[in-house]
Amino acid sequence: MTNNSGGGQPVSMKNAREISDICKANQILLILDGCRIAENSYSVKHYEPAYHNYSYRDIAKELCALADGFVMSAKKDGMVNMGGFLALRNQKLADDCKNLLIITEGFTTYGGLSGRDMEALAIGLVEVFHPDYLHYRIVSTTYLGQHLHELGVPVILPVGGHAVYIDAAKMYPHIPINEYPGQALVTEMYRVGGVRSVEVGSVMFGKYNEFGELIPAARELVRLALPRRVYTQSHLDYVVEVFEKLARNKESVRGYKITKETKFLRHFTAHFEPLQKIIIEQVAV
């Protein structure tokens, strides 16, 4: 919450409740990935009429009440530079996790974090639900998405809370999926404008079949995630200017091949090599 691989789209309260009912009926543990639960709560409040009068914090509490556990990478809606936490209802499972924590990260009162980081996280979890903060956050992301859309850039709509997602396969239809159009766009953004982003497509989620052929991901997306309380409108306008240049030269962009990868989570450490344009000359016979 929100859904990263689905273009930053939120999970509705209705959907969350139905999933919770299915899990309870079948005795399946339900764990929420709540790294962006405040932004998800914003969407619930504004898109589900039954929750218009709820606070963002109360919506988050209701979402959590549906689950058996909650995991959070706090660098997102915890608004800190490092840290996270795991919360569980089952005491035995919690004790098992605590024992593993002690031998891998540190004691349960700090879990490998400094006191300063823990205090920042406690404050961040309060501030992230402030209405003015969430409004500015969503409006800023929407501003970037709308301007890219007006340029003709294939943006996933509606724009998600934490990021703008671009359909790289549509932007570069001449690049085959097995040549990773998302990675090509990521590289061009950095090469042309120094803008860092991430591929959320077949590099990240692609698999190989028994013959070593690529099974592509469902979408070839590129994520423009906005760090919290960092960028101004001028920064976003610069990103739009970079895409104006990219749009003018998109036909000349070519794909990439992977030259080094790990068995799991290859998108973090893979090495790539650009594929050169092949020019075929037709000679009259």
Q: Are 64 and 15 spatial neighbours (Cβ–Cβ below 8 Å)?
A: no
Q: Which residues form the domain of 89?
A: 13-127
Same domain, 112 and 135: no
Task: Tell whether 101 is covered by a domain.
Answer: yes
Euclidean distance between CA atoms 60 and 5, whole angstroms? 21
Same domain, 83 and 197: no
pLDDT reported for residue 111: 84
Give the residue-averaged pLDDT of 246-267: 93
Q: How is residue 6 annotated by DSSP?
A: T
Give every CB contact of residue 238 below 8 A, 6+ residues apart in sequence: 193
**Residue after which a domain boundary falls, among 127, 144, 161:** 127
Same domain, 138 and 206: yes
Query: Which residue matches tokens 């790539």?
Result: 272
Same domain, 259 and 151: yes
pLDDT reported for residue 113: 87
Helix spans in the chain (H): 13-25, 37-47, 56-65, 91-104, 115-127, 131-150, 168-171, 181-193, 202-205, 233-248
Q: Does the pTM exceed 0.95?
A: no
pLDDT reported for residue 277: 59
pLDDT reported for residue 283: 47
Same domain, 172 and 79: no
Same domain, 138 and 253: yes
Residue 209, domain CATH: 3.90.1150.10
Task: Tell whether 280 is covered by a domain.
Answer: no
Same domain, 80 and 149: no
Residue 201 CB coordination number (10 Å): 28
pLDDT tens-digit map of 122-142: 999 999 999 999 999 999 999
Query: Which residue matches tokens 């042309």?
Result: 192
Same domain, 100 and 155: no
Same domain, 103 and 218: no
pLDDT tens-digit map of 144-167: 999 999 999 999 998 988 999 999
Average pLDDT of every residue of the chain: 92
Task: Tell whether 284 is covered by a domain.
Answer: no
